[in-house]
Structure 1
């Protein structure tokens, strides 16, 4: 029975010199320890390096016709695929200035001719060991970066699923359908992207924040979970007393998210925005909203965006108790609310993006099945047969 052993890979060295005798000398010196490739000019050396498996180390003469060793080294360093290959200049240029120039070009070492075989072999082995260690660290870093990216994607996916699950829980007890969540998400994103370069919003609405707004927007009505069914599902107009209870959904939502944040023991950016939206999206620009009667810029930007998105969707969506309002009529209501209900600039952003709003509404339109399912849920919640 015979055993097969993996053959240990010998490092590959590329020797570049325009003198045949020097190439022969170096090949004979190195061939017992390494795989040796040779090139008699800079152009050929670069071709060898760039095709097939690159060498582990390059021994490079400087004074050659055509491309000089300096020019070859510059091209190697400029290419991300070859810049990590150690280069040892092997040259007759022996001045301190020449050595400084060579090392300044990124060479790992500088050996002057005539060579001393023992010194050359020792330096080659040293730089190969250094390269092997650096390659190992790079591979570990690449692995760690991939692992961090994988786990980051997992965390983001868990966040998204959790948000949608919580939002869907609130939706099952409300007159809204699940598509309301999707529509308002996209409405908020459209407004934020339109305002990102506006002088009043540029410092707030960067790519990262817009992504967090999209992620947190579904939680705007999470507090409705705490509103009694007799009020939440009432098909007619609420009494003043009932409306006061309904208004508490903003505080209930903020408190529920804040409790979750405290349990995590960390400040999470998207939860901060979710709290702002849940608590303040019913505030009005003129201070007549709730729960605090905030006005103007005291209302968080996230809540001002959601105010427009939520009102437009409420107006243009079909419910079990009302038909959908035509787009143009809803547009007029928001235009009329500019400066009273809505931040004037946010209202203007909406008016500039109405076709995008219309397209989103059509893409996530409530079907007859959605409406029927919501009616069934309400009937069950009300205890009807």
Structure 2
């Protein structure tokens, strides 16, 4: 079979199965990326979620024998939510980032990549393939950039002309010598809005992200959130979209294309207080299909507590006291203590005084002291 024609047929098939962009790149090593990753490790900017072996991240041939090409795919996801519920006093709401509004993108992209693999195998029985999405060794963004899906923006996202940066990325390494697409020129220009408005200064400079300060990363951690970030997390439960929503290239990119990514407003913007007492079974049943649930309920609950503190929501005080005195997780007890101090009710103060005599965990006890300190500061003021 003529390879050029097959590549055209593959592109057409990709569109039929719901792939919005497809590109083809060389499987040569990613030398520039390697230098950036080494520098990232030296500066301790990595999140810890990524593959630690830089060779595996930058040398596709280590992942598939006889690797020649990489197929990059992108699927657009929506940036607008219709009929979004508004939080009010007594019924505050949190927010999941847009990338977690619908069906878990890992599953959605893997389904499409599996179909692509079957299509290729039907025409090239000797084809070797290895697909990955997000949690694979390769950098999805580096592959997408090389394959002409979009350009690597200053906020480190891939921006496509058609869908902005609201795209999920995946790739397939193969031994088929496809014709390669050209990389796209950077179109950010002098714009630095994403750098200037990042709530934590995580975007150190154009194309350089300190993941340790990125809210998207911080909301996925399971321990105590460092104090400096607690007041800027707002009502974010998972992820952060600030550097995307301010980007001029994302204006008017609604991307209402795939029904599976259409958000359920009660999932994407859930009430905060019910999250504090949700069981594991209920959490999995309600939120298990979205990507933001991958770390379990604990980070979401911790973030919900911080959001209630952000709102100074007094209606949450009784449940926060219950968590402070009875929850078996030190992070939840301690975060509840901090929140009670921020909210500042007399009921919360008495609960903190009680807890300081019974708490056995040193970190949780330190949070109780922080909570009590808020009351002391209030008296001084």
Q: Same fold (TM over 0.5)?
A: no
Name the one with the larger strand percent: 2
For the pair shown, the structure with the greater C-alpha radius of gyration is: 1
Name the one with the larger helix percent: 1
Superposition TM-score, scaled by structure 2 size: 0.28
Superposition TM-score, scaled by structure 1 size: 0.27
